[in-house]
């Protein structure tokens, strides 16, 4: 089946209501151009570095403005709306970095909580500790849709190829990578990581991103893109500002690429042996 997919690029602020208005406008724009799967970026509902201020605006999933709106838009436009992620309040006081997929009837198909926490110290002085506020997920998902089999990741997950591989082995034909990549890491690694994940698993990759300088002071890399199973960039946005990135997805291309290079089938288990050196020029027997 061939269908048109859209990756929406945003520059989310601290007010969920304003962000929701942006989502509605851009999802409608994507649907008007023929998209029947529309993905938004990581942290669609709010990018807020101040943890106390973030908690003050959070709601549980049942009362979250972005989740409710996505369900309504999906039903109204008869499309799949995938909230790449949005912060959701959990009962224990922690926060879920949660992706939500709604079908054309407005019903929720599944959710995915980001597994890998962005706990890093960058060269420019940026320091992030997602695990201080967010509860990591523990379950990966592959949704069997009429469009194809869709796997879920969020942002930092892209640096963990085993997550992609397990979903590909389970049948995923399309991988979602919504993100809010920092400008520094994005300049170095964003495109190459996305293309690598597409190539090594023979999947389409749809990556909706945040792009620009945000109200809370952070700067994200943008360059939302859609990549085919051969690693070709089918469509891409610029570094900043809003965009609707569109491309045709033909899942038959996944099986054609996997037939040419059947690395998923050819993978072998192996043992790993740590060899200790005995001296210059020699190794232990």
Give the list of residues 6+ apart from residue 153 with CB closer than 8 angstroms, or none: 112, 163, 164, 175, 176, 177
Contacts of 93 (CB under 8 A, 6+ apart): none
Name the one residue in this structure whose structure tokens are 């060899």: 275
**Active-site entry in 11, 130, 155, 219:** 155
**Is 110 one of the catalytic residues?**
no
Q: Give SS3 for 57.
A: helix
The question of whether 155 is a catalytic residue gets the answer yes
Burial bucket for residue 62 (CB in 10 Å: 0-12, 13-18, 19+):
exposed
Question: How far, in Å, CA of 94 to CA of 51, rounded?
Answer: 11
Q: Which of 11, 114, 173, 219 is catalytic?
A: 114
| Residues 77 and 27: beta-carbon distance below 8 Å | yes
Q: Which of 42, 130, 173, 219 is catalytic?
A: 42
| Residues identified as active-site | 42, 114, 155
């Amino acid at each position: 089946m061939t269908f048109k997919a859209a990756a929406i690029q945003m520059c989310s602020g601290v007010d969920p209501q304003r962000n929701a208005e942006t989502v509605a406008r851009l999802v409608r724009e994507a649907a008007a151009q023929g998209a029947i799967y529309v993905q938004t970026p990581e942290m669609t509902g709010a990018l807020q570095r101040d943890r106390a201020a973030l908690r003050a605006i959070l709601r549980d999933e049942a009362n979250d403005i972005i989740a409710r709106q996505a369900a309504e838009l999906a039903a109204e436009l008869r499309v799949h709306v995938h909230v790449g992620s949005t912060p959701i309040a959990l009962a224990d006081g922690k926060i879920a970095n949660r992706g939500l997929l709604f079908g054309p009837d407005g019903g929720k198909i599944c959710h995915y909580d980001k597994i890998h926490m962005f706990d890093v110290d960058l060269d420019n002085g940026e320091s992030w500790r997602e695990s201080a506020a967010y509860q990591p997920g523990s379950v990966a998902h592959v949704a069997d849709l009429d469009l194809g089999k869709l796997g879920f990741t969020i942002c930092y997950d892209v640096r963990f190829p085993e997550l992609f591989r397990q979903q590909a082995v389970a049948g995923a034909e399309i991988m979602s990578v919504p993100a809010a990549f920092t400008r520094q890491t994005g300049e170095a690694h964003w495109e190459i990581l996305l293309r690598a994940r597409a190539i090594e698993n023979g999947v389409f990759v749809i990556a909706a991103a945040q792009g620009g300088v945000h109200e809370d002071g952070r700067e994200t890399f943008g360059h939302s893109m859609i990549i085919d199973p051969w690693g070709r960039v089918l469509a891409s946005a610029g570094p900043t500002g809003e965009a609707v990135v569109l491309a045709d997805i033909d899942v038959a291309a996944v099986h054609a690429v996997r037939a040419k290079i059947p690395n998923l089938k050819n993978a072998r288990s192996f043992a790993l042996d740590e060899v200790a050196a005995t001296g210059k020029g020699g190794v232990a027997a």
